[in-house]
Amino acid sequence: MLEKSYREAARTPLPAGAIAVGTGFFIAPDKVMTSAHVIAGCDTIIVENGRLEPASARVAAQDRRRDAAVLKVQAVAPSVLSLGEDSGRGALRILGYGVGETGRMPADMREAARLKGSPPGALAVSARVSAGFSGAPILEAGGRVIGILSGRLNEGEGRDQADIIASPVAGLSAALRGHADARGQKQGAAEGAVVKVSCQ
């Protein structure tokens, strides 16, 4: 199911001069995690946020089956997020950049709720998100990332409300998780760790 998001993005090449937009988050001083479909077919990748000037990035590792990727960034993170397993309880939030939002502003924060009966190997939540949130971190109350937003399962009530599918970080390969290094880094400032990812 998660691989479907990647396959659909990879089948649709960007027209010349077009820019695709998604979200990512620092997991180490120079590494950003995002959804693999956000950077599918990119020649140029740029990350930025309100505390980070636009910086170039390249793919360091990816798992298309889990729709996850790690980017090596030519900049130092303002702050990083730590990865963790889903406790199954408590409030969730998603931070991301919608299409048309400038990366110079802080990421938009949305509340989310777990859905019962998540598909095997996935995390399903309900939230009001817009295009551009792919790759956004899903955080538990303590600030740990438990999932990476991949796409919509279906439309819910209201214009932006949807049931969302995410890749649980606990299910990512050791090759991807091995890039995470929050030791000794400034943590807890999620807004500084979340970036807009632009792909050309």
- Which run of H or E residues covers position 80? none
Does the predicted model carry a pTM greater than 0.85? yes
Catalytic residue among 37, 79, 108, 167: 37
Q: How far is CA 143 from CA 21, 38, 84, 86, 160, in A?
A: 24, 23, 9, 12, 24
pLDDT at 89 over 70: yes
Note whether residue 144 is domain-resident: yes
How many folded domains does the chain comprise?
Answer: 2
Q: Is 82 a catalytic residue?
A: no
Q: Is 37 a catalytic residue?
A: yes
Note whether residue 86 is domain-resident: no
- Mean pLDDT (the chain, rounded): 83
176 token code pair: 């991807």
CATH number at residue 48: 2.40.10.10
Note whether residue 132 is domain-resident: yes
Note whether residue 87 is domain-resident: no
Catalytic residue among 67, 82, 150, 167: 67
Domain extent at residue 105: 92-170
Do both 17 and 76 map to the same domain?
yes
Instruction: Name the residue with tokens 């798992």.
Output: 63
Do both 29 and 52 map to the same domain?
yes
Catalytic residue among 5, 35, 79, 134: 134
pLDDT in tens, 41-85: 888 999 999 888 999 999 999 998 899 999 999 998 989 999 999
d(CA 118, CA 107): 26
Do both 166 and 99 map to the same domain?
yes
